[in-house]
Structure 1
Amino acid sequence: MIRLIHWPEAPRNVVLRLTDREGGVSRQPYATFNLATHVGDDPTAVAENRLRLARLLPAMPLWLDQVHGTRVFDVDREAREEMPPRADAAVTTKSCVPLAVLVADCLPVAFAACDGTRVAVAHAGWRGLAGGVLEAVAAHFPRRSFVAWIGPGIGAAHYEVGEEVRRAFVDQTPSLARFFTPGRDVAHWYADLAGIARAKLLAAGAAAVRSSGICTFHEKAFYSYRREGGSTGRFALCLWRTSG
């Protein structure tokens, strides 16, 4: 149901958790620990799954209405009038406030200030990566003062994209061409999302970046949108800081 993540670069007061697809009440094709309300699952099952998760955390996570954009919700400064906030990232200095993003092939990314005073999360699919969601989060930290962790996402061997996706990255940053290898024909490419994310995080000022190295398409403990033909649940990355 929930996995403790060893993140050696993060301060001791930063806690990172990752859910998988076991331990919930959702039925196929969402079996069993789907945490997303927008994928067609029974709302009662999702609510129960979220309650089960909350019992293992300091509080119910701050869920986001993710739209593959670049908006960062600042928990400290923004009123929670719109719940869930429409954003693809969140940041806070408050303690015991779990931040969360939901994914099923897109990358979940965790950020932590090196001194443990601030944490953030981001949902980074190709649109968010190209649009600058990681850079938008990094702007909340001084350069070289934060570390990042890239969670499970679809691996390059299973992520074939069209030329328009490659151009979205390479036209902005030509050096990112190294993360695309030829696909089945001249109009397609295999994209290394985790490699792109790592390069962007380091360029944005991360002091260190660690990746899980887990491919969601290959590892069946996690949901995968592509592997399961689009009808699937979502797992969560949850992050918070303690008062220590």
Structure 2
Amino acid sequence: MHDWIIPNWPSPSNVKAIFTTRNSGVSKNRNGTYAELNLGDHVQDDFLSVQQNRALIRQYLPNDPSWLKQVHGAKPVWVDKKVVEPEGDAALSRCSGKVCAILVADCLPIFLCDTAGTVVGVAHAGWRGLANGIIENSISEMACKSSEIIAWLGPAIGPKHFEVGEEVQEIFLKQDSQSSFAFTPSQSNKKWFADLFILARQRLTNVGVTKIYGGYECTFSNPTRFYSYRRDGQTGRMAALIWLT
């Protein structure tokens, strides 16, 4: 049995999506660093274990996922043409059977599709990606009416645990004064707790997307189900996967 999350959103029937957890895999480590379903091949886990884990999820997918080289940037990539490890932080597709994928361990995965079921995507949205426009760029690339786009916010580090510096808050406030609602003071000097879910919702709303779901699962506070870089440092990665049938 796998322990995956299926987005609870009103997507068309030909849109399929899953978010993996850390459970139901083969990775091992004495202190639990990678146990069990680590899908990241860049985090110093045993290479063969990662390949076995990817093979496990491949059984449930129409094709091999198009894994990106993620750089915490704002570039969406169309994966309809085969490119070896394209660099970007959002994957988009209009082709049946092409699996868009990103890896996360606290950053916010944002699943996207249109109401007609003609295009899908998934964005890797940490604070840098959000600030640099990964949402806006992805929506623009999808070339749909914003009113026809549906978004689902997957598990990410929650607002009680994501402490950032004053400079991060200032970046968002300069871009949008309404971002102040996403920050609460920390007891640490000149630190703030940031709410990635609010920031993402604001940016989606600002570009006309109103069909927004999810945004309630905290990776940091649930170590039995989720990897968390902020909590553990060295850790595995979970995958957000979406495709058209």
TM-score after normalising by structure 2:
0.93
Match of 2:98 in 1: 97
Distance of 1:147 and 1:206 partners within structure 2 = 7
Match of 1:213 in 2: 216
Match of 1:56 in 2: 60
Match of 1:137 in 2: 138
Counterpart among 172, 177, 182 of residue 174 in structure 1: 177
Shift in Å, 1:133: 0.2
Structure 1 stretches lacking a partner, 5+ long: none
Distance of 2:158 and 2:68 partners within structure 1 = 24
Shift in Å, 1:185: 3.4
What number of residue pairs does the alignment pair up?
A: 238
Say if 2:197 is the partner of 1:157: no
Match of 1:232 in 2: 235
Match of 2:108 in 1: 107
Shift in Å, 1:149: 0.4
Distance of 2:104 and 2:56 partners within structure 1 = 18
Asked whether the equivalents of residues 72 and 89 of structure 1 are also in contact (C-alpha less than 8 Å), the reply is: yes
Code of the aligned partner of 1:124? A
Q: Deviations over 1:34-65 (max 9, x none)?
A: 00011111111111110111011111111111
2:201 counterpart SS class: helix
Match of 1:10 in 2: 11
Code of the aligned partner of 1:207? T
Q: Deviations over 1:67-126 (max 9, x none)?
A: 0001111124xx534x21111001111012111110000001100011101001100000
Code of the aligned partner of 2:71? V
Shift in Å, 1:212: 4.0
Distance of 2:135 and 2:73 partners within structure 1 = 11
Shift in Å, 1:226: 1.1
Shift in Å, 1:8: 3.2
- List, as ranges, runs of 4+ consecutive aligned residues in structure 1 with deviation greater than 4 Å: none
Match of 1:47 in 2: 51
Shift in Å, 1:6: 4.2
* Equivalence map 1:188-207=2 (5 Å): 188-207=191-210
**Which stretch of structure 1 is more off in the superposition, 59-68 or 21-30?**
21-30
Distance of 2:230 and 2:238 partners within structure 1 = 14
Match of 1:20 in 2: 21
Structure 2 stretches lacking a partner, 5+ long: none
1:240 counterpart SS class: strand
Asked whether the equivalents of residues 2 and 17 of structure 1 are also in contact (C-alpha less than 8 Å), the reply is: no
* Aligned Cα root-mean-square deviation (Å): 1.3
